[in-house]
Amino acid sequence: MKFKYIAIIILFISASLIGLVWIQVNWIRESIAIRQQQFDEIVYDAMRKAIERYEKDEVVKFSNSNYYKSQNLGSFFLQHDNNGNINSRYDYIDTNKGIEQTYYNELHLLDSGDIKKLSIDEKDELKAMYDEINESFKMSALATMFNTRSIYEKICSEDLEKIIDEEMRLHGLETKYNFAVLDYNNLDIIYSNYKKLDQKTFEEAYKLEVFPNNIYSNSGLLIMSFPTKKMFIIKTMRVMLGVSGLLILVIMGCFAATLYIIFHQKKLSDIKTDFINNMTHELKTPVATISLASDMLRNEKIVQHPDKILKYSSIIKEENERLSSHIEKVLQAARLDSAHIKLKQTEIDIHKMLEDIVAKFSVRVENEQGKINLELQAVKHMIYGDSDHIRNVFVNIIDNAIKYKKENEPVLIKINTSNSNDGTIISIYDNGIGMSNDALKRIFEKFYRVPTGNIHNVKGFGLGLNYVKEIVEAHKGKITVESIVNKGSTFKIYLPINLQPHGKN
């Protein structure tokens, strides 16, 4: 796929992703605002209930107080008509819920036995009447109370705190809070459990009037604050926030993974295209040279000159060898690709194998004034493995040492063997161009070739070292490399000695 199309797709996905995240963030913000509103409503409801309960309790307390009793003939309350005659009497009983009273006069018949006989409508009617009496009784008690006590006397912080605490719990507001009661008119503090009550805290606090029915004197102002309100709200939304955060992360992760795959695939496809171009060129050149040399051999004039025949036939031989080396490399890679490496394992004498390989290479190296040193120091040098593959491993590394030599310096290769950890270590040093640390990290990757710029012009497919690593690992061995640019490189191969068949199944 062309990069332009990939870029457009990425642009669209990125824009959608940003849009999605934006919508999600806004939606979360709105949800928090709604929760905040709900929180405020619940707080006001709880405060209202607490104030109502407190007011009722205060009235009950006051009604039972000696002062009120002395004013109201003990535990009952009399209602007068316009002429001053008593027309009704309420008895009140202090209960937890407030004041229950019995309405005497026409209604004294309302003992429990009689109530049961009443029809539903009659009961409703009686209840309504009771409610009305209840209210008027309360108002009357309140009026007396407010008339006789100031707000400062009326506030009992312990009782109020107990009620507020209960109401907060009943409303599910189990979080830290502060409250204070102020004088409604001049905002003097009557009671406060705030550490510091400044203007800002006051402005932001929830406010509700205490004793709103007080028509005689100053009533109070209950203010409340929840310092951990935000955290509390967010806590109630944690599942939703967690899930949506997780979903955003999953989408972003998938997008990143998709991008990685797209670019990886693109890189692979570019590498493969390069490889095919490179291979075509590499195969065509020797074929063309061979064809040219054989044409020359067929030329009658050449037939008369044996030295020229020798020259052209050795060109054909050389080019033929080059061709088969290329084909061998490609075949090696193709073999690795076919899922499993099948090892034909036999006993191998590493020393013998190395001597054999070095003998073949030394002609080529010495022709170019180079040198190959072999130091066979390993005591144990018999291993169990596939001799063709192991031979290819050494050939590839030595071939590279010659290929990547410095232009103006004869090649020097030192091969050395030793033993460690039940294995044989074969170390191959060269004084070539070396590799940077970045290159070292990637040389075992398939198709990887160190970008050379104009420094040297050695042809290759980037398959050799990948094959080497796969084969060494198939033999349960290890390969490492150390290298310094312009100084040289050392490849170290560790192969286990145990004379048992092994390898990748």
Residue 361: other Cβ atoms inside 10 A: 19
Choice between 208 and 357, CB closer to ligand ADP = 357
Sign of the torsion formed by the C-alpha atoms of 135, 137, 143 and 145: negative
**Number of chain positions touching ligand ADP (CB under 6 A):** 20
| Cα–Cα dist 90/143, whole Å | 17
- Interface residue with ligand ADP among 362, 460, 478, 502 (CB under 6 A) is 460
Residue 57: other Cβ atoms inside 10 A: 18
| Cα–Cα dist 458/129, whole Å | 111
| CB closest to ligand ADP, residue no | 460
Tell whether residue 443 is a contact of ligand ADP (CB under 6 A): yes
- Interface residue with ligand ADP among 57, 58, 386, 430 (CB under 6 A) is 430
CB of residue 404 to ligand ADP, shortest distance in Å: 4
Q: What angle do CA 6, 7, 12 make, to 5 degrees?
A: 100
Choice between 465 and 479, CB closer to ligand ADP = 465
CB of residue 23 to ligand ADP, shortest distance in Å: 49
| Cα–Cα dist 145/377, whole Å | 112
Choice between 77 and 404, CB closer to ligand ADP = 404
Tell whether residue 370 is a contact of ligand ADP (CB under 6 A): no
Residues within window 372-411 making contact with ligand ADP, judged by CB under 6 A: 400-401, 404
Q: What H or E segment, with its residue span, contains residue 18?
A: helix 3-64
Contacts 24+ apart (CB under 8 A), 192-201: 193/161, 194/225, 201/225
- Please name the residue that has the structure tokens 């001049």: 186
Choice between 43 and 372, CB closer to ligand ADP = 372
Binding mask 2-41 for ligand ADP (x = CB under 6 A): ----------------------------------------
CB of residue 466 to ligand ADP, shortest distance in Å: 6
Choice between 279 and 309, CB closer to ligand ADP = 279
Query: 6: which 2 tokens?
Result: 């990939």
Interface with ligand ADP by CB under 6 A: which range of 110-118, 320-328, 383-391, 457-465? 457-465
- Burial (Cβ within 10 Å: 0-12, 13-18, ≥19) of residue 201: middle
Choice between 51 and 450, CB closer to ligand ADP = 450
CB of residue 17 to ligand ADP, shortest distance in Å: 39
| Cα–Cα dist 323/474, whole Å | 27
Tell whether residue 55 is a contact of ligand ADP (CB under 6 A): no
| Cα–Cα dist 329/197, whole Å | 84
By the criterion CB under 6 A, which residues form the site for ligand ADP? Answer: 400-401, 404, 430, 432-435, 443, 448-450, 460-466, 489
